[in-house]
Amino acid sequence: MNYNGTYHLFYQYNPEGAVWGNIVWGHSVSKDMINWLPLKPAIYPSAPFDINGCWSGSATILQGNKPVILYTGIDTENRQVQNIAVPKNLSDPFLEEWTKPDYNPLIEPINGINAASFRDPTTAWLGKDGYWRLVIGNESSNKTGMALLYKSKDFIKWVKVQNPLHSAQTGMWECPDFFPVSLTGKEGLDTSATGDRIKHVLKVSLGEKTADHYTVGHYLLSKDQYVPDNTSVDDSTGLRYDYGNFYASKSFFDASKKRRILWGWVLESDTKEDDVAEGWAGIQSVPRTLWLDKNEKQLLQWPVEELKSLRRKEVAMTNISLTKGILSEVEGITASQADVEVTFHLPSLENAELFDPTWVDAEELCGKKDATVQGGVGPFGLLALASKNLMEYTAVIFRIFKAQDKYTVLMCSGGVRSSLKPGVTKRCYGAFVDADLTDWKLSLRSLIDNSVVESFASEGKTCITSRVYPTLALGKNAHLYAFNNGTEAVEIAELKAWSMGRPKMNVKAQTRRKLDRD
């Protein structure tokens, strides 16, 4: 949340090790979402209603500018219950201390609710009828995922609405998120916003696939129900925020700049033993601004503008022809930590491979047609975190296929050459991009940071995050290449790349004093 000009990031944290367990709410604060000051845990097990763990939840800012946290606690009976915490001192700019009122738990799993799958309350929204509403993730006995809806006048006594906000047979719905989006631009909306020029988004995290899926639709206020549009499927094959290593995401409305910000958890992909040896596990994605595409069918995402503050030396390339087998190195930057924006021009699509309509799984297709497999138009793109001899590289590539009445764009990221380290999951993630090729151009932005590559295709229509662990392409030994392995030539219309500075993390006392003054 952004409270009085300070961003607060709360996260699931084990202060005793780099493996799951002893979960508390870690707490960090920032003025720009780039440089962070870690504080002591905000919430930790201390009462019968959360003694066995303080799990995920959300922040809500109530009337009178009063922030509260709703979270899932594991009680003495190992039931998942919903609790509230409030700041001890609202005049503290960092809100370091939180208290738990004695009327906890607020919401219990009664009347047949599955107490082992009842968690992760959303940010609440205030209806015109004066009732607050929130959603809690759940799974029924027949594997139906549900967004259970609760309402309250005073934010203390909550009553379950008879029908779920929405449900589908996809298994457990973790970390639900429900928020409005504008039909008229990029501006974000407060979670309580309603109106004619608004649609709503429901996001759920599906644990079996470790993926965040969403639909765009309408919130029927009179029925307290959400109805997805029929523009995408409402199951585990539907739209995703990110088609790579990205899970349990949460968004919030940043009132200071009128935008909706999205965070995602990027998991480790190496072994638990490696996590223990390193002493930490798991990172947050770069925060992203989120808005509805003008086609009203999907969301667009883009790194927050504040990330540009880390840009250092810039290099540029224009009008570079990439014929089959050509590597063009992007020199003059620190390739292990870089921000790259490139627009590819496609002189001809005549030799695009025919698209087989049975190719419905993009990730499976990327596994069969990786960067080493020659095509017609593509594969082309970037080889990030590459060693000089190309024994290691993380490929971020496109292939273009000719379907019956249109061209289909496949995006892939990762691959078996991303690391030589044993035990690392070397997935080649994939997704189809709803790109408009009428101008014969395709854009890509990749954020490269030592062991993670976050990529945004076609101005943010499709995103893929890869978690990789190079052993050769480290520090100054990392290289960045543009390449083409298709028979059809591709041009770099424009490429800009920047070395990226290191943000402030785990900062010292003097930095904290400066943050206090700011």
Which residue's entry shows tokens 């001192």?
A: 89
The CA-based angle 336-342-346, given to 5 degrees, is 135
pLDDT at 505: 86
How high is the pLDDT of residue 512? 54
298/356 same-domain check: no
Q: Is residue 69 part of a domain?
A: yes
Instruction: Tell me the C-alpha distance between 253 and 191, whole Å.
Output: 7
Q: Are 321 and 299 members of one domain? A: no
User: Closest Cα partner for 219 from 260, 178, 162, 161?
Assistant: 178
Q: And the tokens for 457? A: 């295709």
**By C-alpha distance, which of 470, 480, 364, 463 is closest to 417?**
470
Query: How many CA within 13 A on the CB side of residue 18?
Result: 16
Query: Which one of 253, 274, 303 terminates a domain?
Result: 303
Judge whether 384 lies within some domain. Answer: yes
DSSP secondary structure string, 216-257? EEEEETTTTEEEE-TTS-SSTTS-BS-SSS-EEEEEEEETTT
Q: Which residues pair with 125 in a beta bridge?
A: 133
State whether 294 and 314 are in the same domain: no
pLDDT of residue 518: 53
Whether the model pTM is above 0.75: yes
In a domain, 412, yes or no: yes
Residues 99 and 136 in one domain: yes
Can you tell me the distance from the alpha carbon of 22 to that of 43, in angstroms, rounded to the nearest whole number? 12
| pLDDT reported for residue 36 | 95
CATH number, domain at 174?
Answer: 2.115.10.20
Per-residue pLDDT of the chain (518 residues; tens, 9 = 90+): 999 999 999 999 999 999 999 999 999 999 999 999 999 999 999 999 999 999 999 999 999 999 999 999 999 999 999 999 999 999 999 999 999 999 999 999 999 999 999 999 999 999 999 999 999 999 998 899 999 999 999 999 999 999 999 999 999 999 999 999 999 999 999 999 999 999 999 999 998 889 999 999 999 998 999 999 999 999 999 999 999 999 999 999 999 999 999 999 999 999 999 999 999 999 999 999 999 999 999 999 999 999 999 999 999 999 999 999 999 999 999 999 999 999 999 999 999 999 999 999 999 999 999 999 999 999 999 999 999 999 999 999 999 999 988 999 999 999 999 999 999 999 999 999 999 999 999 999 999 999 999 999 999 999 999 999 999 999 999 999 999 999 999 999 999 999 999 999 876 544 555 555 55
CA distance 151 to 157: 8
Q: Please list, in sequence order, all residues whose beta carbon lies within 8 angstroms of the beta carbon of residue 133, skipping any fewer than 6 positions away.
A: 124, 125, 126, 127, 149, 150, 151, 152, 161, 224
| Same domain (yes/no): 237, 352 | no
Question: What whole-number distance in Å separates Cα of residue 4 and Cα of residue 358?
Answer: 52
What's the confidence (pLDDT) of residue 392? 97
What's the pLDDT at 188? Answer: 98
Pairing mode, strands 24-30 and 337-345: unpaired
Residues 316 and 287 in one domain: no
Shared domain check, 433 and 290? no
The token duo for 241 is 């925020």
Q: Which residues pair with 484 in a beta bridge?
A: 380
Q: Which of 285, 303, 321 is the last residue of a domain?
A: 303
Q: Tokens 């030592």 appear where?
A: 450
Q: Is residue 506 part of a domain?
A: no
Residue 505 lies in a domain: no
CA distance 256 to 277: 40
The range of the structural domain enclosing residue 54 comes to: 2-303
Long-range contacts of 59-63 (CB under 8 A, 24+ apart): 59/1, 59/8, 59/10, 59/123, 59/252, 60/123, 60/124, 60/132, 60/134, 60/191, 61/1, 61/3, 62/155, 63/126
Same domain, 416 and 291: no
In a domain, residue 518? The reply is no
508 found inside a domain: no
Question: For the purposes of burial, counting CB atoms within 10 Å of the CB of 344, is it exposed (0-12), middle (13-18) or buried (19 or more)?
Answer: buried
Cα(479)–Cα(390) distance, integer angstroms: 9
Closest CA to 433 of 504, 366, 358, 508: 366
**Is the Cβ–Cβ distance between 141 and 163 less than 8 Å?**
no
The total domain count for the chain is: 2
Question: Is residue 509 in a domain?
Answer: no
Is the same domain home to 114 and 250? yes
Among 253, 273, 303, which residue terminates a domain? 303
Domain co-membership, 113 together with 158? yes
Say yes or no: 10 and 138 in one domain: yes
Domain with 466 in it: what CATH number? Answer: 2.60.120.560
395 shares its domain with 297: no
